């Protein structure tokens, strides 16, 4: 709740900044409540927006019976309502969870992931995603992702305004906003996600699947897959992927909040030794 409140406050601040760029103090006064309203709308719609960004399609028991039954079984073990199951066509192995701990949550998997992993490894990855849902951190992360994308969009708009309004004596004031807003795009994800978030999901996901070694094997396969890991096509959604995407450079690298995959694997291996 604190993370979500912080993100909504950031949306209000973003709205005020956008209004100030457009119409000075009067625009800021109007932009702050508008930004908050957009944040409240995004809180409910962020999950669908992210799924659509990846071109995901929902499947059911008639189109993907095995996969849907597998998610249903693991959801019962995780003590969460059965999430919707979505697939997106991408050779890169990827998985993400969105939504709140309720009926609107969803798990999305790439076709590359399904072709790469064995059944036990796929169970472990789904368990990891269900752990995110059970911990209740996916809604804040999704809202942070949408906010980060909005910051990037506003930075690009500021750049466009600078090009249109710039004069010989230097760039327009809105041009300087680009250098402020682009680095700030990382802040919502720093609020919504962290390294321990992935470690916690790994621990609980391994218990849900009943096989810590399977999740370690799955992470290793995803990290070293012949097909590349997910590219950073949607940098604002990086924090939601099971393994960090590739291609992050400059400020985009700050959007990737995943701990090193090798460290996650080592912790899972250590838990097997400790259990034995």
Query: Rounded CA gap, 218 and 126, in Å?
Result: 11
pLDDT tens, residue by residue, 143-186: 666 666 666 666 666 556 555 555 444 444 544 555 555 555 55
Q: Which two tokens stand for residue 249?
A: 């450079």
Q: Where are the alpha helices (DSSP H) in the chain?
A: 2-53, 65-78, 111-116, 119-135, 138-165, 173-184, 187-192, 195-209, 212-223, 261-275
Q: Please give the residue that has the higher pLDDT: either 23 or 56.
A: 56
pLDDT tens, residue by residue, 176-190: 555 555 555 555 555
- Domain boundaries defined on the chain: 54-137+193-275
Q: What is the pTM of this model?
A: 0.70
136: left (phi over 0), alpha (psi -120 to 50) or beta: left
What backbone torsions phi and psi does residue 64 show, to the nearest 5 degrees?
A: -145, 70
Tell whether the model's pLDDT for residue 124 goes beyond 60. yes
Query: Rounded CA gap, 23 and 98, in Å?
Result: 36
Query: Rounded CA gap, 147 and 11, in Å?
Result: 7
Give the three-state DSSP class for 95: strand
The order of strands in the sheet holding 106-110 is 57-59, 84-88, 106-110, 95-98
CATH of 54-137+193-275, one of 3.30.565.10, 3.30.1950.10, 3.40.50.300, 3.30.2010.10: 3.30.2010.10
Q: Is 196 a catalytic residue?
A: no
Across 128-137, average pLDDT:
86
Candidate list 73, 121, 129, 263, residue with the active-site label: 129
pLDDT tens, residue by residue, 86-102: 999 988 888 988 876 55
């Amino acid at each position: 709740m604190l993370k979500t409140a912080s993100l909504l406050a950031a949306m209000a601040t973003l709205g005020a900044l956008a209004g100030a760029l457009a119409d000075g103090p009067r625009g800021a006064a109007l932009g702050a409540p508008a930004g908050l309203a957009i944040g409240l709308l995004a809180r409910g719609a962020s999950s669908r927006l992210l799924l659509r960004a990846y071109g995901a399609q929902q499947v059911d028991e008639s189109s993907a019976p095995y996969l849907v039954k597998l998610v249903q079984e693991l959801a019962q073990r995780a003590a969460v309502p059965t999430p919707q199951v979505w697939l997106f066509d991408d050779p890169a192995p990827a998985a993400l969870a969105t939504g709140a701990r309720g009926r609107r949550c969803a798990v999305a998997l790439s076709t590359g992931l399904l072709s790469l992993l064995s059944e036990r490894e796929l169970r472990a990855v789904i368990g990891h995603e269900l752990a995110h849902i059970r911990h209740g951190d996916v809604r804040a992360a999704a809202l942070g992702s949408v906010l980060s994308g909005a910051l990037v969009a506003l930075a690009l708009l500021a750049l466009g305004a600078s090009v249109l309004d710039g004069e010989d004596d230097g760039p327009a004031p809105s041009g300087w906003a680009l250098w402020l807003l682009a680095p700030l795009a990382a802040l919502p994800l720093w609020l919504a996600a962290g390294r321990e978030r992935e470690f916690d999901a790994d621990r609980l996901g391994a218990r849900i699947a009943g096989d810590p070694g399977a999740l370690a094997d799955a992470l290793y396969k995803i990290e070293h897959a012949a097909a590349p890991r997910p590219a950073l096509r949607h940098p604002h959604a990086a924090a939601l992927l099971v393994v960090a995407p590739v291609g992050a450079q400059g400020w985009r690298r700050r959007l990737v909040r995943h701990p090193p995959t090798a460290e996650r694997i080592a912790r899972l291996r250590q838990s097997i030794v400790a259990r034995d």
